[in-house]
Amino acid sequence: MRDHDSSLPLDNFLAKLDQRSATIGIVGLGYVGLPLLLRFADAGYKVLGLDVDRSKVDKFNRGRSYIEHISGQRIECARGGGAEASTDFSRAAEADALIICVPTPLNAYREPDLSYVLATVEALVPHMRTGQLLSLESTTYPGTTQEELLPRLQARGWTVGEDVFLVFSPEREDPGNPEFDTRTIPKICGGTTPACLQAGLALYRVAIDTVVPVSSTRAAELTKLLENIHRAVNIGLVNEMKIIADRMQIDIHEVIRAAATKPFGFTAYFPGPGLGGHCIPIDPFYLTWKARQFGLHTRFIELAGEINSDMPKWVVDKVGEALNQRGLAIKGSKILVLGIAYKRNVDDMRESPSVQLMELLRSKGAEVAYSDPHVPHFPDMREHHFDLDSVDLSAATVAEFDVVLLATDHTAFDYPMILGSAQMIVDTRGVYRDQATNVVHA
């Protein structure tokens, strides 16, 4: 099905990109979508953000940021160039490219939950038109683009690769990383057809310094999973090594730093209280689920997942040991968790192991509080509920707690003050490596 004035959709699409007259639609304005929208705006394109979350849309249209490391000034600058946001998905027809950046969580059975992706596609397709490109950036299992998105476009009567274009280009955001941003992180892109790939490469090359083509959407989907599984497996290894080193009374951080002096064949990964962020705790299970459809069992990946998932329990045991040294139990103790974002210096709470620690400690009867300069109030979350505000740290407030559990090592914390004031510290990040008096390493 083609509009009568769109006999050459690919040529028209490429010409609009070249002339900077194309409108870029970003669907999902979270930690991936908002930076991408701003990057296309910086490149001189009109951008339209679509999101079901009215609060995000309203904040964007008022020039206010809702992500800590993105300034309101950047949003105001984009708005000055014509950028806007809307909850009205019928406006998808205004865009020449639609880029989907919505969550892909796991369900209660640790199986892929594509409900956000599919609901988004279902909301977009009725308003799409000939000549548009649809790109999926949400991390998913190999085959999603071909098996789920392609049939929905074909159901409109379109020939994908002639009438409309479909690609998969996985997000590679690293919130709070000052060394890399959306523009400088190389972009993978796989197309459903060669024409789709050509359109996808042209789209991303106007905004990203390096775009790397792969042979198919399936290859692009697996590339993203491999990246995160690589990290998950290596973090699982070093977390297991941490437990072994602890039993042998060896400082695992010293060992890792010594091993990292080898100029080849070793990459340093550091242990922690578990895995956090939207990608690493979730993505491996997308592949294990898909592999089972091929009669395969990803034992190595699943073992790493088990190790990482068990780390919060091991840390809580360490909290129990620390309290035992003072003749106390977890039940009834006051415990302050330092840092509840999933990594240092960001406000991102997705899959944070700190929250799992808080849940476990509360279930054992502890009185739990937290301090995080990046998260002033505990946010609304699907699975975790705490009516808490961040504790302002001072020598007096730190001294009130039976244990201070260092879960996320934000640079804003006054570590010498905390060390000098705390009755006991359980350190999961190796901050107090050389301290032995009131520190338990976990």
For the chain (442 residues), the mean pLDDT of every run of 10, in chain order, is 60 97 98 96 97 97 94 95 97 98 88 95 97 97 97 97 98 85 96 98 98 98 96 95 95 96 95 84 89 93 92 96 95 98 92 95 97 94 87 97 97 96 96 85 92
| Residue 279 designated active-site | yes
pTM: 0.91
Classified as helix, coil or strand, 240 is helix
For position 7, what pLDDT does the model report? 53
Nearest to 405 by CA among 380, 383, 372, 381: 372
Nearest to 408 by CA among 429, 392, 377, 391: 429
Domains of the chain: 9-215 (3.40.50.720), 252-441 (3.40.50.720)
For position 385, what pLDDT does the model report? 86
For position 179, what pLDDT does the model report? 87
For position 252, what pLDDT does the model report? 95
**Catalytic residue selected from 101, 189, 196, 279:** 279
For position 176, what pLDDT does the model report? 75
Within 8 A by CB and 6+ apart from 31, the residues are: 67, 173, 175, 278, 348, 350
Classified as helix, coil or strand, 84 is strand
Within 8 A by CB and 6+ apart from 358, the residues are: 337, 340, 368, 370, 384, 386
Categorise residue 265: left if φ over 0, alpha if ψ from -120 to 50, beta otherwise: left
Q: Find the helix packing angle between 283-292 and 217-247, rounded to 10°.
A: 110
